[in-house]
């Protein structure tokens, strides 16, 4: 995790110093891309605020907390109190409107009897980002449900996934991190990887970007190395390992989806989730067809349809969030 990501996470946890808050502001102003990362993509990022006392997130109360923190510290020469306070208020607006983060406070000292399961659901057409107090960072794709305990056990960290998510897991040798999906368990100590496991698909796709993970499937254990992908067929209970370019499978978290000779019916399912539309298509007309290309969050479904029409002659009708596609051949 880069230094700026670390500062962002510390800010969400309420642990940033005055210098770090100023550093984050200056970083944002360095390039349009940095500012875009914080402000643009409102349609992707949604704010979820969870505190250890489980109170609702309130921007006003957060501002007062930050204000008292600034007041109690010595303001360095050249930085007036009002300038820093305005900066603090600006950040609250930034994170309240644009930067989607969810802070789940996992306090080891909380009594185990108080453990509850938190469901994080991201609907169609959206992507969310979540920070855990152990340092783990998770991007959650459209139409995905992630279930997280309010407090991790002393000897393990377990979450349940239905959908797609990219994990940057913080290292903790005493508490391995496990992701449970239908028919498979993924175990890591500290690494980054992507999991795609939707209910309407027979496949569980696990792609390793860095580190090492262990796939536990039907009593069988398989280790993945960076650049490898495990594809588990839930019908046949068969696991295959391929070498891939991980970036092609995790680019969705940066606002684009890459397809490389992907089955067209599966592409339709992704497009439905990505743009929050319902696609009606006779699968027999598109059986055996494949698609290669890139779709982006800042485009609309028509962009995909026009791109598809360049490789396959189609007719389509868009009615609000309903899309009907026919093979024109």
Specify the CATH number of the domain 255-327: 3.55.50.30
Would you kindly state where each structural domain of the chain is located, as residue ranges?
Answer: 3-100, 106-247, 255-327
pLDDT at 92: 44
pLDDT at 126: 86
Nearest to 123 by CA among 39, 204, 46: 46
Q: Percentage of residues in the chain with pLDDT exceeding 90?
A: 32
Nearest to 41 by CA among 101, 123, 98, 94: 98
Residue 176 near residue 169, CB atoms below 8 Å = no
pLDDT at 23: 80
Q: What stretches in the chain show pLDDT beneath 70?
A: 1-2, 8-14, 28, 32-114
Nearest to 178 by CA among 156, 199, 163: 156
Topology (CATH level 3) of domain 106-247: Jelly Rolls (2.60.120)
One fold for 106-247 and 255-327: no
Separation between Cα atoms, residue 132 and residue 139, nearest integer Å? 11
pTM recorded for the entire structure: 0.63
List alpha helices for 135-286, DSSP H: 246-250, 264-275, 283-286
Separation between Cα atoms, residue 194 and residue 245, nearest integer Å? 12
pLDDT at 138: 92
């Amino acid at each position: 995790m880069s230094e700026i990501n670390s500062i962002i996470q510390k800010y969400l946890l309420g642990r940033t110093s005055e210098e770090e808050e100023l550093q984050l502001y200056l970083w944002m102003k360095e390039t349009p891309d940095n500012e875009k990362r914080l402000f643009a993509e409102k349609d992707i990022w949604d704010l979820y605020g969870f505190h250890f006392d489980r109170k609702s997130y309130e921007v006003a109360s957060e501002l007062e907390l930050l204000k008292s923190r600034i007041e109690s510290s010595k303001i360095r020469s050249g930085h007036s109190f009002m300038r820093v306070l305005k900066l603090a208020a600006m950040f609250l607006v930034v994170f309240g409107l644009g930067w989607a983060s969810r802070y789940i406070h996992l306090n080891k000292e909380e009594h185990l009897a108080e453990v509850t399961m938190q469901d994080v659901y991201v609907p169609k057409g959206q992507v969310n980002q979540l920070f855990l107090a152990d340092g783990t960072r998770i991007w959650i794709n459209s139409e995905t449900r992630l279930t997280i305990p309010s407090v991790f056990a002393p000897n393990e960290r377990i979450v349940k996934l239905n959908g797609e998510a990219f994990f940057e897991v913080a290292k903790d040798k005493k508490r391995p991190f496990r992701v449970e999906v239908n028919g498979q368990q993924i175990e890591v100590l500290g690494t980054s990887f992507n999991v795609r496991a939707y209910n309407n698909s027979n496949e569980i796709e696990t792609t390793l970007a860095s580190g090492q993970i262990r796939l536990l499937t039907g009593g069988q254990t398989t280790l993945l190395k960076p650049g490898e992908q495990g594809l588990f067929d839930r019908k046949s209970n068969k696991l295959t390992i391929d070498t891939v370019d991980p970036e092609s499978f995790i680019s969705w978290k940066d606002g684009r989806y890459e397809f490389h000779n992907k089955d067209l019916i599966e592409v339709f399912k992704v497009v439905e989730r990505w743009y929050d539309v319902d696609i009606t298509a006779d699968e027999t007309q598109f059986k055996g067809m494949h698609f290669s290309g890139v779709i982006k969050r800042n485009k609309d479904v028509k962009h995909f349809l026009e791109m598809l029409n360049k490789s396959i002659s189609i007719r389509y009708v868009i009615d609000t969030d309903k899309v009907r596609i026919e093979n024109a051949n």
